[in-house]
Amino acid sequence: AEGGNAEAGKTKSATCAACHGADGNSVNPEWPKLAGQHPSYILKQLMNFKHDERVNPSMTPMAKPLSDADMADLAAYFSSQVKKAGEADQTKVALGEQIYKGGNNATGVAACAACHGPNGAGNPAANFPALNGQHVAYTKLQLHAFRKGERANDAGKMMRNIAAGMTDAEIEAVAEYIAGL
């Protein structure tokens, strides 16, 4: 994992575990599960927080003191953990599935599956993150942040352009669908 050492990462992860869980499965639904996420994506996010390209009051101070080696070790550790399945509100998944697999032609929303994969496993080679099983609240927060431009660390505005065309109801539905993937 980008040269990272998972054992060393485990030692360095004690403070992270308070929010992200000792097993990488956070309890608070506004804090992302990191278990099983691609190491290259975790590493990129930590670099982005450290260099103020992604801003969050909890994460910015955590990332600032990390060295490149620390970040690679933490990425290797969290990616090696096993993600727990999420739960979808079954009354909302039909619209969510439609958006996820087909997008919305009328409003120019691209299909999520094209980049994040039919099962939400992402694509490590392209640094498209895994989304499957993620907390509904966290996914919604990120889509709203991309839509408002408050999260702007997506190269080529890939996610900002997509979120810009989404309604609140579409965001809610796709977040539910993703949680159940």
- Contacts with ligand HEM by CB under 6 A lie at 15-16, 18-20, 31-32, 34, 42, 44-46, 56, 58-59, 62, 74, 99, 109-110, 112, 114-116, 128-129, 131, 139, 141-143, 153-154, 158-159, 162, 174
3-state SS of the chain is CCCCCHHHHHHHCHHHHHHHCCCCCCCCCCCCCCCCCCHHHHHHHHHHHHCCCCCCCCHHHHHCCCCHHHHHHHHHHHHCCCCCCCCCCCCCHHHHHHHHHHCEHHHCECCCHHHHCCCCCCEHHHCECCCCCCCHHHHHHHHHHHHHCCCCCCHHHHHHHHHHCCCHHHHHHHHHHHHCC
Residue 25 or residue 142: which is nearer to ligand HEM going by CB?
A: 142
Query: CB-wise, 90 or 163, nearer to ligand HEM?
Result: 163
Nearer to ligand HEM, 88 or 112 (CB): 112
Complex with ligand HEM: residue 91 or 138, whichever CB lies closer: 138
| Beta carbon of residue 84, minimum distance to ligand HEM (angstroms, whole number) | 15
* Least distance between ligand HEM and beta carbon 174 (Å): 4
